[in-house]
Each structure stands twice: as C-alpha cells, then as structure tokens.
Amino acid sequence: MLFEKEFLLMKEKSKVKSGKSRLHLLHQYYSYTGFYEFIWETLKKVSPYILAFLIAVFVLNKYFNINQGLIHLTEILPVSGVLIFFFLSETFLGLIPPEIFIAWSGKMDAPWLYLAVLAFLSYFGGLLSYWIGIGITKIATVHNYLEQKMEKQLKNSKKWGGFLILVGALLPLPFSISCLAAGIIEFPFKNVVLYGSLRLLRFLIYGLVIFHVF
C-alpha cells in the first residue's frame, strides 16, 4: 500500500515536471526563433495607429454616441439589411463590435438561428478579407515594398501566421484584420480556414453569455 502511494506520488511529480519541460521548450523555441522580438517590434510599429484610432473614436463618441447609433441602426434596418451591414463590417476591417449584433439576434424569434447566421457571416467575411489581402499584394508598388522593405518581417509572419489567426478568431480583436494580414503574407488558405473556424466557437461562447444560458 505504501509502495503504491509512493508510486502515484512519483507519477504526479513526473507529470508536473513534464508539463514544465514542455512549457520551457516552447519558451525556448519562441526565444530562439525571434517570436517575442517579432511581437514586440510589431506592437511598436502599429501602436501609433492604434492610439490615433482610439483617440478618433473617443473624440467622435464625445459628440455622438456610437454604440447607441449602431443599436438604433439594427432597430430601423430590416433583417436582411442588418445581416448585409454586419457582413460588410466583418469583411472590411471588422471594427464594429459583433456583440451589438449578437444582442440584436437575441431579440429575434429564433435567436440561436440568427446567432449561427452571424457566426458564419463573420467567418466567411474573414475568409473574403484574406483574398482581399492577396489582391493587395498583386499591386506592383505594394508587392515591391513588401519584397524589398519587409522581407524579414514577412518571413517571420508566415512562420507564426496560425497564431495571428487564432488571436483574431478568439480574442476581442478584429478578425477581418487578422485575415487581411494573413492574405498579405500569403499564409496558406487551408490553414486560415482551419484556424479561422474557431471564430464560430467565439460566437457560441458570446451567445451563451449574452443569452444568459448559465
């Protein structure tokens, strides 16, 4: 009996050590491949634009309640109009919070059906954004700039493109922008389809929360 307890204790310690080893190896991999440096440099480059956008939103919201305006828009537009507006938003930058539309779906006769429609519209909007990104790289000036000025960044971005899509799909960040960036770096489309499908999971989780299922 004592031997069995010691064996189980050693097994548990081995599992903890194994878990720590995996995390340590993962950390080493990201360090050696320059992932952390890439994230830091990217954040430094985009932060001025993000800050400018936030300031613009703050100033605009001071004189016009953006959220109330969007909610009012969902009230006056027909169902087809709301869905088209949402799809366009999720295709071009996706800066309008999807929570507004999820709340709108909760007021419908079949809330889960409309939530499913919104989820797939968001997903396909992101996939369309990917092809817009591919199209942007076909512009000669853009193509030359990417090849000459951003060769290193593009190489690193392709290496971690899956992470980029996962962040956009699951976190409260514009999924469309993640997919657009994936298209610009020419990340494999089949991987975008796979990782991007987690966008559907995000809508399910939001639905469970907003519809007060629990």
Share of the chain above pLDDT 70, in %: 63
Higher-scoring residue by pLDDT: 45, 28? 28
Average pLDDT score, the chain = 76
Q: What per-residue confidence (pLDDT) applies to 210?
A: 80
Q: What per-residue confidence (pLDDT) applies to 127?
A: 94
The string of DSSP letters for 156-191 reads: HHHHTHHHHHHHHHHSSS-HHHHHHHHHHTT--HHH
Q: What per-residue confidence (pLDDT) applies to 79?
A: 92
Residue recorded with tokens 């537009």: 77
Please state the domain extents for the chain: 79-214
77 secondary structure, DSSP code: S
214 secondary structure, DSSP code: -
Span 104-144, pLDDT tens digits: 998 888 999 999 999 999 999 999 999 998 888 887 776 67
Q: Give 180's contacts (C-beta < 8 A, 6+ positions apart).
A: 93, 129, 130, 132, 133, 136
107 secondary structure, DSSP code: T
Span 40-71, pLDDT tens digits: 665 565 567 667 766 776 676 677 676 677 78
Token pair in block for residue 35: 């992932």
Ramachandran region, residue 92 (left: φ > 0; alpha: ψ -120 to 50; beta: rest): beta
Which whole number is the average pLDDT over 5-11? 46
* pTM beyond 0.75, yes or no: no
What letter represents residue 99's amino acid?
E
SS3 58: helix
Cβ atoms within 10 Å, residue 25: 10
Which whole number is the average pLDDT over 158-179? 77
Span 189-201, pLDDT tens digits: 998 999 899 999 9
Determine contact, residues 169/198, Cβ cutoff 8 Å. Answer: yes
* Half-sphere CA count of 213, side-chain side, radius 13 A: 10
150 pLDDT tier (thresholds 50, 70, 90): low
CA distance 45 to 179: 19
**pLDDT at residue 10 greater than cutoff 70:** no
CA distance 17 to 33: 24
Q: What per-residue confidence (pLDDT) applies to 49?
A: 60
Q: What per-residue confidence (pLDDT) applies to 174?
A: 81
CA 72 to chain centre: 26
